[in-house]
Amino acid sequence: MAKAVIITIGDELLIGQVTDTNSTWIASQLNNAGISVIRRVAVGDNATDILNALNEEGAKADVILITGGLGPTSDDITKPLLCKYFGGKMTSDPDVLAHIHHLFEKVYNRPMVERNIKQADVPDNCTVIMNLRGTAPGMWFKKEGKIYISMPGVPYEMQGIMETIMPLLKKELALTTILHNTLLTAGVGESVLADMLGDFENNLPPFIKIAYLPRYGMVRIRLTATGDNPQISKELDNRFELLQQLLSKHLVTNKDEPMEAVVGKLLKERNKTMCTAESCTGGYISHLITTIPGASAYFEGSFITYSYQAKHLLLQVDEKVLIDKGAVSENVVLKMAESALDHLKADYVVAVSGIMGPEGGTADKPVGTVWMAYGKKGHIIANMFTFRWDRKRNMEITAIQALNCLRKFILADKYNPI
């Protein structure tokens, strides 16, 4: 089975200024193709550490994917170093140069400077992979039977180059099949799930592994099968079917998709629409829903009523109720949900008001207290939740919980079946 290592280069990764999303994306692409990523390594912009990484990781893997260190500015030392490492000579590539000229003249519409022209210089012993989304080309080297591919660190550019590379890699490597089946549960913890699945786990064949991936009140459970025998895929499907039966009470979806996509599908299947009324989440629920392409088919819009005044002016929440009961109260979220439904003429609604922290908590209503209302015209339910995290995580878990409440409401709504 082909083994890969991902090397990311950049001081910004080592001082904690930038999160490495490239490795995540590259790893998922390689895995889908049946290439096993065995390690990921990040090193700084200095020659010794980059050389050590090339030597060490080259000894461990068949394919070494490198991102970063190829931008136009002078903190970049990677390209000359790769050139020397693979024993080549720098030379200007006419295709890359023409492409850079085109980008500056037609797309960026700004003057080209000397350092942009230098980006067309490549080692003469690599295969150049054109970067249609930027100026720094990809480079494909071979050394002692190993493949080394260097790509820029800008995610969008790297992803374009990976699209070119994947078919080439599949051709060059003898690939073992890796299959993943993933489901999503909500409302129950990792340990309880693991206890429910004790026998299931013990009876798994050695070529199928299980993993629990908890996040924001949800747990994803993944079964992974490795091997080329055609029986393996069938066996994985059988086990996954059994897994879904065992967890049916807590199952959100049997695909590797987020909560917001599941809610979107439920609405689309029923030809219904939704809206939100948000205080403490500040538009985060609305944002999650609209990250899904095609959300306009079922999403009308939202009222983000962050201030007392906005709750009163936009959603007619009684000022006396706001003062007497507080913005984080059953009466307020119920009224927010009702008014949002009325104004936006949507079929379903979810409304939230809470205290996300770090400030704003009281003895009565500590940070993490959230009231949610969800439902449809004439049938709106309110619940209180208490979360116990920091601001960012409280927002995330509140949004997921709100969407899960709505999901269950839609599923239970016998007047609006598919």
Interacting residues with a second copy between 100 and 139 (CB under 8 A)? 107-108, 110, 113-116
Structure tokens at 118: 């230098």
Segment contacting a second copy by CB under 8 A, of 81-89, 120-128, 184-192, 407-415: 184-192
DSSP state of 383: E
For 379-407, letters b (16+ CB in 10 Å) and e give ebebeebebebebeebbbbbbbbbbbbbb
341 counts as binding a second copy under rule CB under 8 A: no
Region 57-86 residues binding a second copy, contact defined as CB under 8 A: 71-75
Could you tell me how far CA 301 lies from the centroid of its own chain?
23
Size of interface with a second copy, in residues (CB under 8 A): 112
Q: How far apart are CA 263 and CA 289, in angstroms?
A: 8
Q: For Cα atoms 407, 411, 416, give the angle at the middle one, nearest 5 degrees.
A: 115
Q: How far apart are CA 311 and CA 371, in angstroms?
A: 15
Using CB atoms within 10 A of its CB, is residue 414 exposed (0-12), middle (13-18) or buried (19+)? exposed
Name which of 33 and 125 has its Cβ closer to a second copy. Answer: 33
Name which of 262 and 355 has its Cβ closer to a second copy. Answer: 355
Name which of 128 and 210 has its Cβ closer to a second copy. Answer: 210
Residue 90's SS3 state is: strand
Is-contact 8 22, C-beta < 8 A? yes
Name which of 55 and 127 has its Cβ closer to a second copy. Answer: 55
Segment contacting a second copy by CB under 8 A, of 87-95, 263-271, 279-287, 368-376: 279-287
Structure tokens at 321: 């109720």
Name the residue among 279, 284, 256 with its Cα closest to residue 371. 279
Name which of 49 and 235 has its Cβ closer to a second copy. Answer: 49
Report the nearest approach of a second copy to the CB of residue 338 (Å).
16
Task: Find the binder of a second copy among 2, 9, 43, 149 (CB under 8 A).
Answer: 43
Region 145-164 residues binding a second copy, contact defined as CB under 8 A: 154, 156
Is-contact 337 379, C-beta < 8 A? no
Question: Residue holding tokens 């990677």?
Answer: 78
Is-contact 341 333, C-beta < 8 A? no
Is-contact 321 332, C-beta < 8 A? yes
Those residues whose C-beta lies under 8 Å from the C-beta of residue 60, and which sit 6 or more positions away, are 3, 5, 38, 39
Segment contacting a second copy by CB under 8 A, of 7-15, 91-99, 168-176, 261-269: 7-15
Report the nearest approach of a second copy to the CB of residue 162 (Å).
12
Report the nearest approach of a second copy to the CB of residue 190 (Å).
6
Segment contacting a second copy by CB under 8 A, of 123-131, 137-145, 243-251, 341-349: 341-349
Segment contacting a second copy by CB under 8 A, of 90-98, 169-177, 237-245, 306-314: 306-314
Structure tokens at 200: 């299931």
Task: Find the binder of a second copy among 131, 281, 339, 369 (CB under 8 A).
Answer: 281
Region 189-248 residues binding a second copy, contact defined as CB under 8 A: 189-195, 201, 209-215, 220, 222, 224
How many angstroms separate the Cα of 19 from the Cα of each of 13, 42, 214? Answer: 7, 11, 20
Name which of 202 and 248 has its Cβ closer to a second copy. Answer: 202
Region 10-39 residues binding a second copy, contact defined as CB under 8 A: 11-21, 23-31, 36-39
Region 386-405 residues binding a second copy, contact defined as CB under 8 A: 388-393, 395
Name which of 211 and 323 has its Cβ closer to a second copy. Answer: 211
Name which of 52 and 127 has its Cβ closer to a second copy. Answer: 52
Q: How far apart are CA 393 and CA 214, in angstroms?
A: 13
Q: How far apart are CA 179 and CA 161, in angstroms?
A: 24
Name which of 190 and 324 has its Cβ closer to a second copy. Answer: 190
Name which of 125 and 391 has its Cβ closer to a second copy. Answer: 391
Kind of pairing, strands 3-9 and 138-143? Answer: unpaired
Task: Find the binder of a second copy among 177, 182, 226, 416 (CB under 8 A).
Answer: 182
